[in-house]
Amino acid sequence: MMQWNCRGIYRKINELKHFLEELAEEPQIIALQESHLVSRYKPKIRGYKLIRKDRDIYGGGVCLFIKERVQYEEIELTGLDPIEAQLIKVEGLNIMNIYAPPNRSLSKATLEACMNSLSSKSIIVGDFNAHHPLWGSSSTNRYGRNLYEVIDSNDFVITNVTAGTRINIASDFGATSLLDLCIVSKDIALRIETTVTDHLLGSDHFVIFNAINIPIAIPENHFRSWSFHKADWNRYRRIAEHKLLSGLQKGDNTIEQAAQAIIQAARTCIPVSKPNRKSCVPWWNESCSRAVRRKRAAFLKMKLSFHIDSVVAFKKQRAETRKTIQAAKKSH
């Protein structure tokens, strides 16, 4: 599962799609905070279904991209204001996606209500805007104290307590803060491994991956077809005849048994097609890739010193990258 405070997905969706294509394995679930979605905009990622919870006015919002072959149940949540949250259940595993705005009161009662909507085997991901030494903050705020008490009383565990998840580019010389958390029930805490990457993808929050070592049945979503032009027909004929004749001699004379003999011969002699992983961004070209690489290089250089020149260079390259990607899409 991937979690990311994208600070508005509209301008970052294309870079996100390319990022997913570069991964060795795409995440089954992508949890986004501060999606900033409005009703007329319906972002799409090939192979994923979208469920969303938008804010009535611009800003905030959460959404989940879920692989089409993952079977889930969406649970309606009420009475959690000011928290913006959504909850799904995947074979008994509760997954909650949360955004807690920094400028609104996050009470202990609201956090307790979140916990009460969950059962065992639960994962909560999101941006809580809470500070507490328990998860590596140098200071404590009221949100952090409330969250700490609720986590402690409900026997939950935070799986990322070291690396910062947000970088302050505008000030504080690139100081990081740990605002994005993965909170899990204690019975599955040892099965979750959280990794904070150094990829921003245009946001000021890093992409986070949560590897969940819990077996979930996922049906195959690709219907393979026979590659008849590659078939060994002579061998197929010999095997099929042998199986059919052997079946008749044994008294296997039903249509189902004959069909099974033919299918077994076909599997031996006729190859099947492999899944075709089409690009979500067919217009992505080398100029886009170079621009993304230059932006990443500028970011890594900025992290070394946060000199004003390197900060300006990174912001300039970030804007240039966004311009290059949009131009490639428009031209296509």
pLDDT digits (tens, 9 = 90+) for 257-296: 888 889 888 989 998 876 556 667 888 889 999 999 999 8
pLDDT, tens digit (0-9, with 9 covering 90-100), for 142-165: 889 999 999 999 999 999 988 889
Q: What are the DSSP E strand ranges found in the chain?
A: 2-5, 29-33, 48-53, 62-67, 73-75, 84-90, 93-99, 122-127, 156-158, 166-167, 176-177, 180-185, 192-196, 208-212
pLDDT tens digits, one per residue of 160-209: 988 889 998 766 566 788 999 999 999 899 999 999 999 999 899 999 99
Cα–Cα distance measured from residue 120 to residue 232, given in angstroms and rounded to the nearest whole number: 53
Identify residue 248 by its one-letter amino acid code: L
Q: Whole-model pTM above 0.85? A: no
Alpha helix (H) ranges present in 168-232? none
What does the block give as tokens for 147? Answer: 């969250």
* Digit-coded pLDDT (tens) for 42-64: 999 999 999 999 988 878 999 99
The model's confidence at residue 230, banded by pLDDT at 50, 70 and 90, is: confident
Of 6, 3, 14, whose CA–CA distance to 326 is shortest?
14
Token pair of 99, please? 């955004």
Which contiguous run of DSSP H or E holds residue 112? helix 108-116
pLDDT score of 222 more than 70: no
CATH superfamily for domain 2-212 = Endonuclease/exonuclease/phosphatase (3.60.10.10)
Question: Hey, where are the domains in the chain?
Answer: 2-212, 228-269, 286-331
